[in-house]
Amino acid sequence: EAGVVQSPRYKIIEKKQPVAFWCNPISGHNTLYWYLQNLGQGPELLIRYENEEAVDDSQLPKDRFSAERLKGVDSTLKIQPAELGDSAVYLCASSLDFTGELFFGEGSRLTVL
């Protein structure tokens, strides 16, 4: 069974440019998470979806970040415009429901110049 797939793995952009990350969760997993991880730190939740509904987006900087999960499957996280401080790894994870273990993708490493 395929795991959580993220793309791109690496992205380098100039500040003020837009960027988008894509995540395909494990088939049948209703819950999807986007996390941000800075170097040497633990993952910080940006948004959690239950099917297509965003149920916890309190940590998402809504002035420049947006996310969507169409049809309750794939998800896209967008940053527009990117700032230098957005350089980090963006992790996507999915779980069967909100109580169990999370399965992570390999992450998308963003560098903003």
Partner 1 sequence: SQQGEEDPQALSIQEGENATMNCSYKTSINNLQWYRQNSGRGLVHLILIRSNEREKHSGRLRVTLDTSKKSSSLLITASRAADTASYFCATRGTGNQFYFGTGTSLTVIP
- Binding residues (CB under 8 A) for partner 1: these are 4, 33, 35, 40-45, 48, 56, 59, 91, 93, 98-107
Q: What angle do CA 51, 53, 59 make, to 5 degrees?
A: 115
- For the CB of residue 71, give the shortest distance to partner 1 in the complex, in Å: 23
Q: Give the nearer residue to partner 1 in terms of CB position, either 17 or 103.
A: 103
Q: Give the nearer residue to partner 1 in terms of CB position, either 52 or 106.
A: 106
The count of other CB atoms within 10 Å of the CB of residue 84 is: 9
Question: Around 96, how many Cα atoms within 13 Å sit in the side-chain half-sphere?
Answer: 3
- For the CB of residue 77, give the shortest distance to partner 1 in the complex, in Å: 15
Q: Give the nearer residue to partner 1 in terms of CB position, either 27 or 99.
A: 99
